[in-house]
């Protein structure tokens, strides 16, 4: 009897409050089911005005290098990947982006300076093997390319400017 007196108020409280806290079947919708939702913070971006400019560096005699140097360190300290879009130049800063165009077939690519060279008189730029393949100069060996330095205005990055 003592247990019934103790349990009866608890049962009444649970039944009264529990039933009022649960939604009825008609109130359950997709909008109020949140148990399995994964809240995602709203991502905001700051829009920037970015301009790309090309400084014409003229026509340069170019060659390519690859297998013998693949896997070795470049002058800027990274590992050379002959299948990357990179190039070597004697004086352009590391990280400089160049648009190279083959005037014979009008193919154009963008490379990044990451090494020094070439050290053969008359040549101004050494391409990675992949860059030479994409420009259609791989079989020719030495070609003349139109070279443009890419300047990205509006991004605060010393590599890009």
Q: What is the pLDDT of residues 124-139, one digit of tens each?
A: 999 999 999 999 999 9
Structural domain boundaries, residue 75: 51-153
Identify whether 35 is part of a domain.
no
Identify whether 39 is part of a domain.
no
Identify whether 34 is part of a domain.
no
Domain count for the chain: 1
Residues 6+ apart with CB under 8 A from 34: none
CB 118 within 8 A of CB 16: no
What pLDDT is attached to residue 56? 98
**pTM flag (> 0.95):** no
Residues 6+ apart with CB under 8 A from 76: 94, 95, 114, 115
Identify whether 76 is part of a domain.
yes
Burial state string for 79-114 with b = 16 or more CB within 10 A and e = fewer than 16: ebbbebbbbbbeebebebbbbbbbeeeeeebebbbb
d(CA 135, CA 156): 31
Residue ranges in the chain modelled with pLDDT below 70 = 1-48, 155-161
Query: What CATH number has the domain bearing residue 117?
Result: 2.40.40.10
What pLDDT is attached to residue 132? 96
Identify whether 14 is part of a domain.
no
Identify whether 44 is part of a domain.
no
Identify whether 70 is part of a domain.
yes
């Amino acid at each position: 009897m003592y247990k019934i007196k103790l349990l009866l108020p608890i049962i009444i409280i649970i039944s009264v409050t529990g039933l009022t806290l649960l939604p009825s079947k008609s109130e359950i919708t997709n909008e109020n089911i949140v148990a399995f939702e994964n809240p995602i913070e709203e991502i905001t971006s700051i829009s920037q005005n970015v301009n790309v400019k090309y400084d014409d560096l003229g026509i340069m005699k170019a060659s390519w290098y690859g297998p013998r140097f693949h896997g070795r360190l470049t002058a800027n300290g990274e590992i050379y990947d002959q299948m990357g879009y990179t190039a070597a130049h004697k004086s352009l800063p590391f990280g400089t982006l160049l648009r190279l165009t083959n005037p014979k077939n009008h193919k154009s690519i963008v490379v990044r300076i990451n090494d020094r060279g070439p050290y053969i008189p008359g040549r101004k730029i050494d391409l990675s093997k992949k860059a030479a393949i994409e420009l259609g100069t791989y079989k020719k060996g030495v070609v003349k390319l139109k070279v443009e330095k890419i300047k990205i205005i509006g991004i605060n990055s010393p590599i890009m400017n």
